[in-house]
Structure 1
Amino acid sequence: MLSREDFYMIKQLRQQGAFIVDIAHQIGCSERTVRRQLALPAPCKGRPKTPRPSKLEPFKNFIDGKLNDNIWNAEVIFQQLRERGYQGGRSILRAYIHPKRRLRPSNQTVRFETLPGQQLQHDWGEVRTVIAGQPCNVSIAVNVLSYSRRFHVWSCLSQDAEHTYQSLIEAFHHFGGVPETVLVDNQKAAVLSHHPRQGAVFNEGFQLLAKHYGFQPKACRPQRPQTKGKVERMVGYVKHHFFARYAAFDSQAHLNQQLLQWLEETADERCLRQFRQSPLTRFDDERPRLKTLPPTDFDTRYYDVRHVACDAYIEVRGNRYSVPSAYCGQSVTIRISLEGELSVYGIEGECIACHRLSQQGWQTEPAHHRALWQQTLQVETRDLRIYDEVSS
C-alpha cells in the first residue's frame, strides 16, 4: 500500500506534466495504481488494525467480583490472578481498576464534637526504641480530652488491664479531674464482649475503676475505629513527632519524664487549625467541667491468693518468698505493684510481709523464720547413765 507521501508525489508529478508510465517507474508501482491514486481526492487511511486481545480479558469478571466485595487492593487481586494463570503485569491491572475507584463506597464520616469535660478517648500504640542501650518495643497509652484535644501519654512494657487502668489514673492526675465518659475500643483489658443489642460487656476491674472515679465507660462498635479518631490521630502524632526527635532513653522512668516535658513544651502549645487555638487555651474552658478526683487512687496492683507452705514460703512467678512462720498452712492474699513490689496480707487484711520481686531465687526475711529455728534447736537431753545400763 502506498503512503501519504507517495500519493502527494504522484499528484505533483502529474501536475508537472509527467507521463503515467514515468510516474509508475519513479514511485515503484504499476500504472494502474497511479491512475487509481490520481482519481482519489485524498489519500487512503489504510486498513483498520484489528485490536489484540488483552491478557486481562478472561479475568475481568473475577476482578469485578472482587471490587464488588470491596477489595480494592491491586496487589492482592494481582496475586490471586497469578494463582488463576494470569500472565500479564500489574500496570494493566491498575489501569483497569483506577477508573472504577470513583464507584468505591465513601469512608468519610462527620466529625463529632463534644462539650467541655464530656469525653476522654483512650487507645494504645507500640513503638520500637532504645532503653538503657537495648532495642525494645514499648507500649504507649494515649488519653485525649475530646473537646480541648489536650492529651496525656504514658509509656510502659505491657498493655494488660492493670497498666490500662494505671494509664487512665495518670491521665486524670495530669488533667486535674475526671471527664463524664471514657471511650475505649474493644480491648480485653476493658471489654469482655460486644453484643449487637446489649452493647458492650465491660471487664469487672474496669467497672470498679469507673465507679471509683465516677465516669461512664463506653466502647466503640466493632470495626469502627473512626469513632475514636481523635485519639487514633494522637497516637500517630506521638510516634512521628516525639519518637522521631528522641531515639534513646536511659530507663523507662526517663522515657516518661521526657514525654511529660514534650507534652508541656510542644504538644500542649500546638496550633489546632480547625479552632485556631492551642489545646492548652481550649483546656481553660474544659478544666472547670471536669469532676474532682477522689481522695485515694484506685488500686491497680495485681491480685492473687497463695497457700503458705510448711517452711513458711509462698511461690510467686517461679520464685519463693518468706512469710512469718505463724501463717504456715494458711491462705494469704498477695498484691504486686506495677513497679514489682510484692505485699502479702493475712486473712484479716493485715500486711504480714513485703518483698521486691526478683529472679535470684529464694527471698528470705530472717525474722520470719526465727520461731521455726527455735523449735528446731530444742533438742531432747538424756542422762548418760542410760547408755551405761545399755552397755552393761
Structure 2
Amino acid sequence: MVLDPHRWLELRRFRGLYEAGAMSLREIAKETGLNRRTVTKYLSGEAPVAPPRRTAERRQHRAVDEVAPLIDAMLKSEILLRASVIHERLASEYQVTINYQRVKIYLQEARPRIAEELGISPGELAGLHRRFEVVPGAQAQVDWGDEGRILAHVGIPKVYSFHMTLSYSRDPFCCFTTSQDLTSFFDCHRAAFAHFGGVPMTIVYDRTKTVVRRHVAPGEAVPLHPEAVAFAGHYDFDIDVLAAYRPTGKGRVERQVLIVRDHVLAGRAFSSIEEMDAAFTAWVPLRRAKVHGTHGEIIGHRAVRDHMALRPLPNTPYVVAQRHLRHVGKDCLVAFDANLYSVPARKVRPRQLVEIRATKSQVALHSTVPGADGETLLAAHPRAVGRGARIVDERHWDGLPTGAGRRTTTGDAVLQPRRDQLPGPEAGSLQALLNRAAAASVEVGRRPLSVYDELTGTRPFTTNSPTKESS
C-alpha cells in the first residue's frame, strides 16, 4: 500500500510518542484509522524517510493541443516556419481561432522536438534553410550588383551590373548600366530574354522599387508596380517577390554576382560600358564548360534543356515608360527631370495636367482626356541629357504674341521720341513728363547751413528776443 502524503505527515507526528513508549502501534493505528501493518511499516524504519511522491495528475487541457498535430505537420514541412505564418494559416485554411501567444509558446517546445525527429541539432537550426529544385524553364532569379567607380576615369560616376540566372541550370546573364531606373531595369530584361532565347515561367525578385509599389508589413499582400505587371503580362511570366527577411530565397543569382565580379571584372581596366558587356560575353563559354558543384552536371549541357523549355518571345517588344503627371506652364513648357519640354499652345491651357511617358530615349506628353480624334499624344521629344535643358519645337508656339512691335532698351540710356513724330496736342504734355523725369535724375550738391551763415555774416541760430529798451 502506498501511503498518501497527507496521511504520511499525519502518521509522522506519532513517531516520537512511539519511540518514547508513550503509545503502542495498536493505539496509533486506532487513532489514525490506519491498518496496524501500515503503521508498523512506516514507524519501524522500514519505509523511506521522505514522503512518497505524489502520482502525476492529469495535465490540464489546452486549446493549442487540438491543433498541435497541424502545427507539427507544418513544422515538418518547413522547420523554420514563423509563428505568425502558422497562426495565419490556422485561421485561413482551417478556421481555427486561437491566441497567437499560445502558438508561440507551443512552438518553443515543438520546434526542437520536430528538429530532433528530422535529425537537425539545435545549434544548426537557426542557420539552415530548405533547398529547392525546379524543372527546366520554370524559374529565373534577378539581382543588381554595385560595381562602384570602375569607369570614373572616363567621367561615369557609377556603374551597376544586372544579373539574371536560370535556376535549373545556373546559366548566367549579365549586362552593365549606369542607372537602376525603371526603363533601364526592364531594358536589361529584354537583353536577358534575347540572350537565353526565351522567357522563364517565373522570375524571383527582392522588394526593389521597380517591382514593388510600396513596402508593406510581413504577411500582407505586396502591391506591384503597374509597369512591372504590364511587362510581365506582355512576356507571359509570373512575378515572385521574396518574403521579408528571407535573403536566401535567391541565393543562386546572388552567388552569380560574386562570380562575375571575380572572373570578369577583377584585375581589368575598361573604358566603356560596351567593353564590360563584351568581356562578359567572352567569358560565358568558359562558364558553361564548368561542372557545377551543386547539380554535378556541365552547365552548358543542362542549359540546353533549360533553354528548350523557355516560353517563346512575343513578336513585338514591350517598351517600358515612366509615367508622371505634370502641369503646363504659361509658357507652354512642362518640367520633367529638371528639364523643360514644349507642348502645342493651341491644344493646352495654363495649369492643365498632362501625362508624361518617358522612355530611355524619348519623352512623350499626352493629354489625360482624348481629343476629338481619340488621340491623346500632344508632343514627343528626344530625352534631354543632363539638367537644365529646354527642348522646344517652335511650331508649338504658333498663335502666341511674338513681341516684334515692342521696343526694348539696354543699359541706363533713356529713349526720347522725336518731337516731329508726336501728335500736336500730346507733344507738350509728354515733353513735360520727360523733362520732369530728367530733372528728377539730376544730382544736387549738399552742404551744411553754416556755410551760408558765413557768407551772409549772420550768427547762426540767434534765439535772443529783443528787449523794450532796445526797441
Q: TM-score range by the shorter chain?
A: 0.5 to 0.7
Which structure has the larger Rg over C-alpha atoms? Answer: 2
Contact 1:306–1:333 (CA under 8 A) maintained in structure 2: yes
User: Counterparts of 2:421 and 2:222 in 1: how far apart (Å)?
Assistant: 83
Deviations 1:222-253 (A, max 9, x none): 22222211111101111221111433333x34
Would you say 1:236 and 2:272 are equivalent positions?
Answer: no
CA contact (8 A) 2:325 2:356 kept: yes
CA 1:391–1:223 in 2, change beyond 3 Å: closer, same or farther?
Answer: closer
For residues 141-169 of structure 1, the C-alpha deviation after alignment (integer angstroms, 9 at most, x for no partner) is 21111112112112223334443333323
Kept in 2, the 8 Å contact 1:312–1:327? The answer is: no
Does the CA contact (< 8 Å) of 1:133 and 1:248 recur in 2?
Answer: no
- In the aligned structure 1, how far is the partner of 2:146 from the partner of 2:344? 42
Shift of 1:254: 3.6
Q: Does 1:366 align with 2:394?
A: yes
Write the mapping of 1:165-184 to structure 2, written as runs, cut at 5 A: 165-184=186-205
Q: Classify the secondary structure of the residue corresponding to 1:183.
A: strand
Query: What do the CA deviations read for 1:333-372 (whole angstroms, capped 9, x no partner)?
Result: 3222234x32333452335231331435433333333443
| Counterpart code for 2:141 | Q
**Over aligned residues, Cα RMSD in angstroms?**
3.2
Whether the 8 Å CA contact 1:310–1:328 is kept in 2: the answer is no
**Structure-1 residue corresponding to 2:366:** 345
Name which of 300, 318, 340 aligns with 2:338. 318
Name the amino acid aligned to 2:423.
Answer: Y
Gaps of 5+ in 2: 1-120, 407-419, 429-471
Scaled by the length of structure 1, the TM-score of the pair is 0.63
Q: Does 1:270 align with 2:270?
A: no
Mapped to 1, the partners of 2:140 and 2:383 lie a distance apart of 35
Specify whether residues 371 and 262 from structure 1 end up closer, same or farther in structure 2 by C-alpha distance, changes over 3 A only: farther
Partner of 2:323: 303
Letter in structure 1 aligned against 2:246: R
Q: Does 1:225 align with 2:261?
A: no
C-alpha distance 364-187 of structure 1, shift in aligned 2 (>3 A): closer
Secondary structure (helix, strand or coil) at the match of 1:299 reads coil
Matching residue within 148, 151, 165 for 2:169? 148
Amino acid at match of 1:368: H
Matched positions, count: 284
Find the partner of 1:208 among 215, 221, 230: 230
Residue 138 (structure 1) aligned to one of 159, 179, 204 = 159
- Name the stretch that deviates more: 112-121 or 274-283: 274-283
Q: Is the 8 A contact 1:311 1:328 kept in 2?
A: no
Change (3 A) 1:367 1:201: closer
Structure-to-structure mapping, 1:275-294, within 5 angstroms: 275-294=295-314
C-alpha distance 352-391 of structure 1, shift in aligned 2 (>3 A): same
**Structure 2 residue matching 1:326: 3-state secondary structure:** coil
Aligned AA for 1:215? F
Amino acid at match of 2:377: E
Q: Tell me if structure 2 keeps the 8 A contact 1:324–1:352.
A: yes
Deviation of 1:134 after TM superposition, in Å, equals 4.3
1:142 aligned counterpart, secondary structure:
strand
Q: 1:349 to 1:151 in 2, by over 3 A?
A: farther
CA-CA distance at 1:198 after TM superposition? 4.9
Choose between structure 1 and 2 for higher RCO, CA contacts under 8 A separated by at least 6 residues.
1
- Give the Cα separation in 2 of the matches to 1:292 and 1:104: 43
- The whole-number CA distance in structure 1 between the counterparts of 2:122 and 2:158 is 40
Gaps of 5+ in 1: 1-100
* Cα distance in 2 for residues equivalent to 1:352 and 1:121: 38
In the alignment, the residues of structure 1 paired with residue 270 and residue 390 of structure 2 have an alpha-carbon distance, to the nearest angstrom, of 34
Look up the equivalent residue of 1:268 and give its one-letter code: R
For 1:387, the aligned partner's letter is P
Superposed structure 1 runs of 4+ greater than 6 Å apart: none
